[in-house]
Every structure is written in structure tokens, then in C-alpha cells.
Chain A
Amino acid sequence: MKRKTVAFFDFTCCEGCQLQVANFGEELLDILAAIDVVMFREVMSEKSDEYDVAIIEGSITTPHDVERIKEIRETATTVIALGSCASIGGINGMKNSFKLEDVQSYVYGEDGKNYFETIPTMAVHQVVDVDYFVHGCPIYPPEFVKILKYALQGLPYTVKDEAVCVECKLNENECMYEKGLTCLGPITKAGCNSWCINYGNICYGCRGMVKETTKNASIDVIKKYDIPMDWIMGKFDMYNKATESEEKK
């Protein structure tokens, strides 16, 4: 089997998900035996305009981003969204809670704002078709490898539409709500093996929401544990603002 050429791209992001890939250690050798990396700004100087697989980190936040991602989509046969910014908009989505003008003034100042065009934050799939989603902030390395294998074989991969609670229970963590903390595990998509909770942190919802909306149930839970609604909304908006109004299929 001829190795597929793979290129990494970054849009609006911290490049931390690519760093996760660069930091794989020994497993990276197996990955590099399976793919031919032709562009990866964080780890190599070579560049290429031709590639089979485009791995995209970051969200789309400027008109220039839109043009650039469309070009990449036309070149690549397979597009993988890497990390929350690319897969759901992520942290950058917080911008969508404010007026664009206010955001521009805040970031660039009254004088500078006119030099930088901006648009509401979008996840990659809100602009072009995405074939594979690797959620998470940052990505969960074993899931990246798993999805890469599916992509290289051309098999469809569906992120399981179940809550982080499922994996958390199997790991036998004490429930954060029992500890008096607020956790987004019950409404966040699993696949990270409840990574944060295993290490004593709460779930921040970085992987996006499960498809089934359970608004009434969620309100009941919030009441049961006596949690102020704006706490939950604040946590929700941290990662999920850009995709909150998406039709959930």
C-alpha cells in the first residue's frame, strides 16, 4: 500500500493539538511508517502543495481563513478536523457572544481595528465538508491514532454519541456532583476515556455536546444539585458557542 501524503495546517488555535501529535514519543515511529508527512510547520521546514490527507487545527475566524480552507478542501481527498477549535469552534467561539465591532476594538484598539477583518468563529465543517473529527482540547492521543487508522483505510468513523459519564463510570471515578462540583460530563460527547476526571478535574465540555438534547432533564439536575444556571451556561459557552445553534442530526 502506497503511503498517503499528509499535511498539517493551523488556523485560529494554539497549535497545542499538533504539539500533542509531535509529542507522541515512540508511537510516532509507527505512525510515520504508515504515512508520509509532507508538511507540518511545527516540526519540519519542508512544504508541499500536494497532499492526500489534510489535518486541520484551528477555527475559521477571518475571510482569508475561508478562502484558505476552501483551497485545502479542493486539494485534499480527506480532511480531518483536529481538536476543539477545528471540530466545534472551541474557545474561539466565545467571540460569538459579543458584537464583532466590540471584539475588534478590544483586541486591536480603535486605531488598529480597521486593518483586521473578522467574522464570527466557525468550526471547519461549518465552511467545508469534514470527513473525520478528532475532538478535544487538546486531542486525546489514542483517539487520534484510532481515527487516523480509519481515515487511512477509508472507513467511516463515527464518534460515539454517548456522554462522558459512560466512560467515567467504567473508570469508577467518584461523581464530581457528589463532590459538590459542576461537571459537563453528562452532556459532553465521550471518546476521551474521561481523561480530565480520571486526574481529578471536571469535564469542560471540550468535545462538544451529545446530539440528543435533554433540556428538561438537565434543568432538573441543575436544580437537584442547587447549581446557579449561569455557572453551567458559562462552562457551556467556553467551548460550545460556535456550534450551539447547529441542527443536531
Chain B
Amino acid sequence: MEQYLILFKNDFDDFVERLAKIQKLVAPVKRGSKSFAFDEVTAAEDVSLNYIPTILPPKKYFMPQNETIVEYEKKQNKWEAILYSEAITLFGVHTCDLAGIQCLNLVFSDRPNDVHYIIRKKRILIIGLECNDYCDEYATCGLMDNHNANGGYDLLMTELEDRFVIHVNTVDGEELMGKLAMVKPADAESMTMLNKMRNKKREVFQPEIDIERKELKPLFEESFQAEVWDSIHEKCLSCGNCTNVCPTCYCYDVEDEIDLDFNKGKMVRKWDSCQSRPFAMISGGENFRPERGGRQRHRYMRKFNYPFEKYNRYFCTGCGRCSRTCMAKINLKETIETLIEEKK
């Protein structure tokens, strides 16, 4: 099954059109002057191949912002789980976002597994897009080792001069390429080009912060009392942008939405943010994390400390979205650098 294919750029328009005819095709598109978003496309001209990470990561297709999970009728005591999925081809996913989806897969497959998520995931076909260079200065994919794809895709495309080399990783991916009937096996020349580019990447991507990846976990473990959280407390607006754009934040709230007949209704799962003040508030008004610094620390711990204990994996993908979107300039790189300084 594992094989490399080749697609010349002259055929890219045709490639996208054919993909869009098979099932719903979603790709990065331009959203405003400096922003991008994943959205449905039908032609190559809609697609932005050269994009910086989208406002929201592709997780929105796996766990939508608003998702009806139960419908009920009170009088009839009728409850029905709503399982909805849609066949989607997710095109142009950067390697950092592939890692993000892998993290979410771990969480939602963990017991008790989340049927709503898993059913959706089964019908999403992922075509990754390798980054040959940095998107911007916010990314830390070199440190997190996500500048190369470590699985998590059906097909992975690498752009090389006049062509794309496509790595086929799954049977689903192979079948899709079969349906398109337009890509050929990669020749020796293409493979040489691919290797050359990968070698070059080793020089381009370096750890962005002067720390070994394995040292991140102990660094955060010992940072609970660090002063950096106090200065972040002063900076943070508590707007929740950082968690909403994070590819591995998965916290949600479930709201009960009853109809005006006060009989029929539904339960809707909505994204929630640990950065908002009421997140850790309980009845009686007690709040476990009333301070913004404490809430930010929690966010960092959920990326660099706790998931490492539970899943043996960092939940920061290095995509840089949290720093890019922060209006108050709270920067992940700077936070880690300050922690390193404080520890010395």
C-alpha cells in the first residue's frame, strides 16, 4: 500500500475539481487580509496553498462549535442520541494540525469513548500538506517536532518546484487516488527532489527555543509558583482567544435548549474556554481559578505537563495560533524562555 505518487502543478486545477466532485471538499481559503479559514471549495482558485495556520484549526470538523448530541421529548420520556457525520475530504492540512487531530483522537477514543466524535472522524479523509519552510515567527513546530508529518493522514502532499509528491498512507487514501485516475507513481527524479527538500528542511527547522523537548515537562512541572504567571495575569484580557484557536483544546459545555412548547428540546455541546472567568465556578459562587494568571498557567499545564502524564505526549503542536491571536501579546515562546530564565 505504501507508495509515492506524483501530480504536476499543471494538473492541480483538474485535481481539485475531481476531488470536489467525489465528496465535500474542505481546504484553506483566504479570510480577510491576513487570515485564513478552512471552508468548502469547488475549484483550485478558491484554495490558498500558501497559508499561515487558519483562525480555527480543522478540529471544527471533528467537534463542531455547536453540536446537537441529544434530542428529547419530556412528556413521552423519549431520549435519542444524535449521531451525525458527513463525508468530507480535508485538504491541505499542515503537519502541525495533523498532530493536533492525533491528540484529539487520543482524548476522544479514551474510555468512555466519544461516539459522536468517532463516527465523524471515520468519514473524514485527510490530505496533509507538508511545510517546506516556516509560516511565520510564532511557530514552534521545530521544537515540538511537528514540522514533519508523523502519521495522522491518508495522503500527504509535498510541493516540489513543478510538482507535488503524494505519500499514500492508508487504503482510503489509495482508493481516493484510484478514483481520481490522474496521478502516476513517482519516478526516481521526484524521489530525489523530495529527499533533497527534506534534507534542506533539517537546516531550516531548528528548535525555536533553547531547550530539549524532553525537558519541557519537568520545566512546567516545577513552574507552579513561577513569577511569570503573575506578569501574565497582568497582561491577560481573559478573552479566550488562545484556547478557542488551539488545535488540542477540547473542553466543552452542554446546554439544554428546550422548545417553546416546553416539551421537545435538545442538548447542545458547545466549546468552552478555561480562560473565561465562570469556567471553574461552582454553585455558591466559589471559583477554583479566579485569577487570570492561574487560568493561563492551567492552559500551559494542559499542553506541556498533564497530557504528558496521561498520554505520554505533548499537546502543544507548535502551530503558534495562541501567540498569533493574542491581543495582549502573551507569547508562548517568551513564556517558556522566561520560565527557563527563572529556573536558572
The CB with the most chain A CB atoms within 10 A, among B240, B245, B259, B292, is that of B240
Task: Bin the interface of chain B by size.
Answer: 35 or more
Tell me whether A216 and B235 are in contact (CB under 8 A).
yes
The CA of A214 and the CA of B328, in the complex, are separated in Å by: 11
Tell me whether B329 and A224 are in contact (CB under 8 A).
yes
Measured CB to CB, the closest approach of chain A to B128, in angstroms, equals 21
Q: Which residues of B contact A149 (CB under 8 A)?
A: 258, 260, 262
Q: Which residues of B contact A146 (CB under 8 A)?
A: 257
Q: A64 on the interface (CB 8 Å rule)? A: no
B263-286 vs A: 1/0 string, CB under 8 Å? Answer: 000000001010011100000000
Tell me whether B240 and A212 are in contact (CB under 8 A).
no
The CA of A224 and the CA of B259, in the complex, are separated in Å by: 45
Tell me whether B292 and A212 are in contact (CB under 8 A).
yes
Measured CB to CB, the closest approach of chain B to A8, in angstroms, equals 18
Tell me whether B327 and A224 are in contact (CB under 8 A).
yes
Q: B234 on the interface (CB 8 Å rule)? A: yes
Tell me whether A170 and B56 are in contact (CB under 8 A).
yes
Q: A230 on the interface (CB 8 Å rule)? A: no
Q: A107 on the interface (CB 8 Å rule)? A: no
The CB with the most chain B CB atoms within 10 A, among A146, A178, A179, is that of A178
The CA of A160 and the CA of B240, in the complex, are separated in Å by: 13
A223 (CB) vs chain B CBs: closest residue:
B329
The CA of A145 and the CA of B260, in the complex, are separated in Å by: 8
Q: B35 on the interface (CB 8 Å rule)? A: yes
Q: Which residues of A contact B236 (CB under 8 A)?
A: 214, 217
B24-65 vs A: 1/0 string, CB under 8 Å? Answer: 000000011111010000000000000000111000000001
Q: B261 on the interface (CB 8 Å rule)? A: yes
Measured CB to CB, the closest approach of chain A to B58, in angstroms, equals 12
Q: A198 on the interface (CB 8 Å rule)? A: no
Interface of chain A, helix or strand or loop or mixed? helix
Measured CB to CB, the closest approach of chain B to A148, in angstroms, equals 8
Measured CB to CB, the closest approach of chain A to B229, in angstroms, equals 14
Q: Which residues of B contact A214 (CB under 8 A)?
A: 236-238, 292
Tell me whether B65 and A163 are in contact (CB under 8 A).
no
Q: B68 on the interface (CB 8 Å rule)? A: no
- State the interface size on chain A (CB cutoff 8 A): 40
Tell me whether B278 and A220 are in contact (CB under 8 A).
no
Tell me whether A169 and B245 are in contact (CB under 8 A).
yes
Query: Which of B65, B235, B245, B273 is close to A217, meaning CB atoms less than 8 Å apart?
Result: B235
The CA of A217 and the CA of B31, in the complex, are separated in Å by: 27
| Interface set, chain A 157-200, CB cutoff 8 A to B | 158, 160-163, 165-166, 169-170, 172-175, 177-179, 185-187
Q: B325 on the interface (CB 8 Å rule)? A: yes
Tell me whether B237 and A186 are in contact (CB under 8 A).
yes
Q: A206 on the interface (CB 8 Å rule)? A: no
B273 (CB) vs chain A CBs: closest residue:
A166
Q: Which residues of A contact B65 (CB under 8 A)?
A: 170
Q: Which residues of A contact B239 (CB under 8 A)?
A: 162-163, 165-166, 185-186
Q: A218 on the interface (CB 8 Å rule)? A: yes
Tell me whether B278 and A169 are in contact (CB under 8 A).
no
A165 (CB) vs chain B CBs: closest residue:
B239
Measured CB to CB, the closest approach of chain B to A96, in angstroms, equals 26
A170-B65, A186-B327 known; A178-B238 Cβ under 8 A: no
Q: Which residues of B contact A178 (CB under 8 A)?
A: 32-35
Tell me whether A162 and B240 are in contact (CB under 8 A).
yes
Q: Which residues of A contact B259 (CB under 8 A)?
A: 30
B236 (CB) vs chain A CBs: closest residue:
A217
Q: A82 on the interface (CB 8 Å rule)? A: no
Q: Which residues of B contact A158 (CB under 8 A)?
A: 278
The CA of A210 and the CA of B237, in the complex, are separated in Å by: 10
Closest 5 A/B residue pairs (Cβ)? A174-B32, A162-B276, A165-B239, A174-B35, A169-B244
- State the B residues within 8 Å of A (CB): 31-35, 37, 54-56, 65, 234-241, 244-245, 257-262, 271, 273, 276-278, 292, 325, 327-329
A-B contact pairs, 17 of them (CB 8 A): A34-B260, A149-B260, A162-B239, A170-B65, A172-B55, A174-B31, A174-B33, A174-B34, A175-B325, A179-B33, A185-B239, A210-B277, A212-B238, A214-B237, A217-B235, A218-B237, A220-B329
Not counting A33-B260, A166-B240, a sample of 14 additional A-B residue pairs whose C-beta atoms are within 8 angstroms of each other reads: A33-B261, A162-B278, A163-B239, A165-B239, A169-B244, A172-B31, A172-B54, A173-B55, A187-B237, A214-B292, A220-B235, A220-B329, A221-B328, A224-B327
